[in-house]
Amino acid sequence: MAAVAVWPLQSYLELGVLPTAVPCARGHARLVLAEWGLQELADPAELVVSELVTNGIRASRGLVGSRFGGRWSPGMPPVRLWLLSDYRTVLLQVWDGNNRMPTRQELDPESEGGRGLWLVEALSEDWGAFQPEHASGKVVWAAVVKP
């Protein structure tokens, strides 16, 4: 009997650093989760994807190259989105080419921004970030779990 992969359901999307990237990522997440029969996780997953991709796009602006999969590529790097699931948990991962790790900002009621990672934390079971091997930048991840 063959061993079952930890994440039997997997999807990948590469996005340009463009104004349309976030709605494309949200739509992709919603459609993939529907295909996987995980519609009940679509709303929180879509919001988390939106925040992670938005942060990835902001982090990528101004970069002139990146390393991914051991290869150097000149120019502004894309943002990469992975969706993985074991039918109960959806793991959302976003790579951007910037080495600066994410930090939650202090909540300021007067501020118009800075709440993204607080939202990610509220909607997910757990979240974090790591610097991948053979790549510049970082992967920020969050796990959304069935209730």
Domain 9-100+114-145 in CATH: superfamily? Histidine kinase-like ATPase, C-terminal domain (3.30.565.10)
How high is the pLDDT of residue 2?
46
SS3 120: helix
Domain ranges for the chain, please list them.
Answer: 9-100+114-145
Residues 6+ apart with CB under 8 A from 140: 52, 55, 56, 93, 94, 96, 102, 127, 128, 129
SS3 1: coil
How high is the pLDDT of residue 1?
39
Q: In this predicted model, what pLDDT tens digit does every residue of 125-134 receive, in sequence order? A: 999 999 999 8
How high is the pLDDT of residue 70?
87
SS3 101: coil
pTM of the model: 0.90
